[in-house]
Amino acid sequence: MMSILNNLVDESGFISQKNISHYDQNAIAYDQGTQDHDVSQNIDALLRAIKTEPPLHILDFGCGPGRDLQIFTKLGHIAIGLEGSQQAAQIANMKSGCEILVQDFFNLSLPENTFDGIFANASLFHIPNKLLPKVLGNLWACLKPNGILFSSNPRGNNVESWYGDRFGSYHDLEGWRSFMTDARFTEIEHYYRPSGLPFEQQPWLASVWKK
Q: Is the pLDDT of residue 56 over 50?
A: yes
What pLDDT was estimated at residue 15? 92
Per-residue pLDDT, averaged over 111-131, amounts to 97
Rounded to 5 degrees, φ, ψ at 189 are: -160, 165
Residue 10 — pLDDT band, cuts 50, 70, 90? low
Q: Cα torsion for 193, 198, 203, 206, to the nearest 10°?
A: 30
- pLDDT per position as a tens digit, 58-73: 999 999 999 999 999 9
- End-to-end Cα distance, the chain: 33
- pLDDT per position as a tens digit, 15-52: 999 999 999 999 999 889 888 889 999 999 999 999 99
Residue 3 — pLDDT band, cuts 50, 70, 90? very low
Question: What does the alpha-carbon distance between residue 61 and residue 149 come to, in Å, rounded to a whole number?
Answer: 10
Question: What does the alpha-carbon distance between residue 201 and residue 211 come to, in Å, rounded to a whole number?
Answer: 31
Q: How many CB atoms sit inside 10 A of residue 22's CB?
A: 18
What pLDDT was estimated at residue 30? 85
Beta bridge partners of 162: 167
Q: Which domains does the chain have, with CATH numbers?
A: 2-32+54-210 (3.40.50.150)
Q: How many CB atoms sit inside 10 A of residue 194's CB?
A: 11
- pTM for the predicted model, two decimal places: 0.94
